[in-house]
Amino acid sequence: MLDGRKVPAFGLGVYEMSGPQTRAAVAWALEAGYRHIDTAEWYENEAAVGDGVRDFLASSGVSRDDIFVTSKLMHNRGYDAALRDLRASLRRARLDYFDLYLLHAPSGGSAMRAELWRAMLDAKKAGLIKSAGVSNFSREATKHIEEIVARGDELPVVNQIDLHPFQRHLEYVESCRKHGILLEAWAPLARAMRFEHPVIETVAEKYSKTPAQIHLRWGLQHGFIVIPKSASRNRIIENSRVFDFELSADDMEQLDALDENLVTDWDITKLD
Ligand SMILES: NC(=O)c1ccc[n+]([C@@H]2O[C@H](COP(=O)([O-])OP(=O)(O)OC[C@H]3O[C@@H](n4cnc5c(N)ncnc54)[C@H](OP(=O)(O)O)[C@@H]3O)[C@@H](O)[C@H]2O)c1
């Protein structure tokens, strides 16, 4: 990442999971080799993420330093509130720090974004977070990113946006890449909405892989960090088996051509 730290390119997302589901899923994922968990204040399961991480640490002997936990700021209410909310998230998770903390959304206007970004960088200096990033930063030519660049501030290490073969956000990807900002793909499975698409089915059959694995491999080969969500132990394991094959350039091209601007959750092009 731009700040010299490393982020595992593959992780578990825990959106729309209850506390008990999250605790179990986090432990299963870590047992299956995942080392990166993506939560948020919004998901109301930061406490369960912390519990799942601790369950695994206790049973495995793996160290906290080897696990990468991300959370996100929910409310854009200003500098003091941001630091208060971050401390509350850490207390809920019973963690000393988050490896990555994101502004969940760019809402609130330019002055608010500048203030929140200052809070993020100060949180990093104070050791509450190791790395600072953003999510859903968008608008024409990523105006949201460009205003950070224009201020000369330290840049976010990642921008987490929806990315999958049916939603490529090419303009945002290119403008992040230009500045060395990594792309993190939310909804990397397109929420399982296109698993029966004929191209996905044909490519899956060719590599003897599942539609989910094809989506994830496509994201990884584009250099995205992918954080598929599953509450099922079998699917958590299935999703992690994406490092033993490579999609050919022709198949990547076929998958690239599926882009239809599919919106699976919120439409990030409409955020102010
Ligand atoms: N920054 C943001 O604004 C934002 C927005 C959305 C998401 N996110 C993050 O990104 C993560 C992933 O995105 P997402 O949860 O929206 O969607 P996703 O990972 O694309 O898809 C999750 C859906 O796919 C199903 N699924 C998972 N693996 C499967 C498999 N192998 N076969 C069949 N179905 C499978 C899951 O069901 P089961 O659970 O039943 O397996 C769930 O319904 C989130 O959990 C969250 O951490 C961030």
pLDDT in tens, 240-254: 999 999 999 999 999
- The three-point CA angle 202-208-214 to 5° equals 65
Q: Which of ligand 1's atoms lies nearest the C-alpha of 192?
A: 24
144 lines ligand 1 (CB under 6 A): no
Report the nearest-CA residue for atom 34 of ligand 1.
192
Q: Specify the DSSP element, H or E, that contains 253.
A: helix 249-256
pLDDT digits (tens, 9 = 90+) for 162-218: 999 999 999 999 989 999 999 999 999 999 999 999 999 999 999 999 999 999 999
Average pLDDT of 226-252? 98
Strands, E, within 121-264: which ranges?
Answer: 129-135, 158-162, 182-186, 225-226
pLDDT of residue 134: 97
pLDDT digits (tens, 9 = 90+) for 43-97: 999 999 999 999 999 999 999 999 999 999 999 999 999 999 999 999 999 999 9
pLDDT of residue 143: 83
pLDDT of residue 141: 55
In the chain, what are the domains?
Answer: 12-265 (3.20.20.100)
Q: Is 172 a catalytic residue?
A: no
133 lines ligand 1 (CB under 6 A): no
Structure tokens at 129: 């977070």
Binding site, annotated residues for substrate: 104
pLDDT digits (tens, 9 = 90+) for 92-123: 999 999 999 999 999 999 999 999 999 999 99
Mutational test site, ligand 1, from 45, 189, 213, max ligand atoms within 8 Å of CB: 189
- The three-point CA angle 154-78-47 to 5° equals 90
Confidence of residue 271 (pLDDT cuts 50, 70, 90): confident
pLDDT of residue 272: 73
Residue that is written with structure tokens 């720090």 in the block: 97
Per annotation, catalytic residue among 15, 34, 43, 207: 43
What is the rounded distance in angstroms from the CA atom of residue 104 to the CA atom of residue 159? 10
Catalogue the long-range contacts made by 237-241 (C-beta closer than 8 Å, 24 or more residues apart).
237/28, 237/32, 238/210, 238/212, 238/213, 239/189, 239/212, 239/213, 240/10, 240/29, 240/32, 240/33, 240/34, 241/213
Report the nearest-CA residue for atom 41 of ligand 1.
230
> Quick one: angle between helices 170-178 and 143-151, nearest 10?
10
Q: Which of 201, 155, 200 is nearest to 182 (CA)?
A: 155
232 lines ligand 1 (CB under 6 A): yes
Percent of the chain predicted with pLDDT > 90: 95
